[in-house]
Amino acid sequence: MDHKDAVRLKATERYLLNELDPDQLDQFEEHLFDCQECALDLRTAAVFVEQSKSMLTEPTKILSSEPARKSAGWFAWLRPALALPAMAVLLAVVGYQNLVSIPHIQEAASHPEVLPWVSLNIATFGGENREIISTPGKGFLLFVRIPPDGTYVRYNADLYNPAGKLEWSTTFEATKDQDQWPIAVRGSNRPTGTYTLKVSGVTAAGESKDLGRTSFDLKIQS
């Protein structure tokens, strides 16, 4: 799923409402790793929903002590006791987005940087681990080379941290005549150590085969 598909499907809203089918859910969650705009939209919407619930709870308790009145249906949201707190939360979220989040993203987009990177070969045995030297919280690039094979329609890649715990998984198409894929690893506070990348190929019938694994040393310098 690319950004245009996410916008067309209104994936952020449907994700919060649990209206995405399993395939769309997997595709959107994978898309969130690479799309800062969708990730920001999702965080903003989630904050708005949670803050609205919190701020609307107290007015509801106060109103419940009043004599029972005939329900006003959806027009109840227009009552000041309910509408004003919700509007305040909305204005706060929009203000933060306009004054802080969006300018920060635009600033980052207008100042590209060269990320640390390493070239990795799958199904190559022996040899020394490659090394990436990075700083705390900074991302890096993995250029993963997989020998061409028309058997597979897509590949699955799993990254394991120095403790052997799965850190993330990603899936990408097995494009014809392409033998190298750049994988952007988002910034995080990762420890220094040896990381292992495991790659498997998936056939059109859904069968998966382990293609190999490789490793690299990540060194974090302040």
Does residue 126 surpass a pLDDT of 50?
Answer: no
Q: Count the Cβ atoms, other than its own, within 10 Å of residue 142.
A: 21
pTM comes to 0.53
Cβ neighbour number for residue 146 with a 10 Å cutoff: 22
How confident is the prediction for the chain on average, in pLDDT?
76
Ranking 68-82, 141-155, 185-199 by mean pLDDT, the lowest is: 68-82
How far apart, in whole angstroms, are the C-alpha atoms of residue 220 and residue 136?
A: 6
Tokens coding 63: 């109103």
Burial class of residue 126 in the structure, from the number of CB atoms within 10 Å of its CB (0-12 exposed, 13-18 middle, 19+ buried):
exposed
From-to residues of CATH 2.60.40.2550 in the chain = 117-220
Q: What is the CA radius of gyration of the chain?
A: 24
Is the CA virtual torsion 27, 43, 104, 139 positive or negative?
Answer: negative
> Which of 15-29, 61-75, 77-91, 144-158 has maximum average pLDDT?
144-158
Task: Give dist(CA 154, CA 91) in Å, integer.
Answer: 44
Instruction: Please tell me the predicted confidence (pLDDT) of residue 200.
Output: 95
Q: Which stretches of the chain are DSSP H helices?
A: 3-8, 11-16, 22-32, 36-64, 80-96, 102-109
pLDDT level of residue 145 (50, 70, 90 thresholds): very high
Q: Is the pLDDT of residue 187 over 70?
A: yes
117-220 is classed in which CATH architecture?
Sandwich (2.60)
Least confident of 99-103, 160-164, 185-189, 203-207: 99-103
Q: Is the pLDDT of residue 135 over 60?
A: yes
185-196: average pLDDT: 92
With the C-alpha atoms ordered 83, 89, 94, 99, is the resulting torsion angle positive or negative? Answer: positive
pLDDT digits (tens, 9 = 90+) for 63-118: 444 454 555 554 554 455 545 555 555 555 555 555 555 555 555 556 677 789 99
Q: 187 Cβ partners below 8 Å, 6+ apart? A: 137, 138, 139
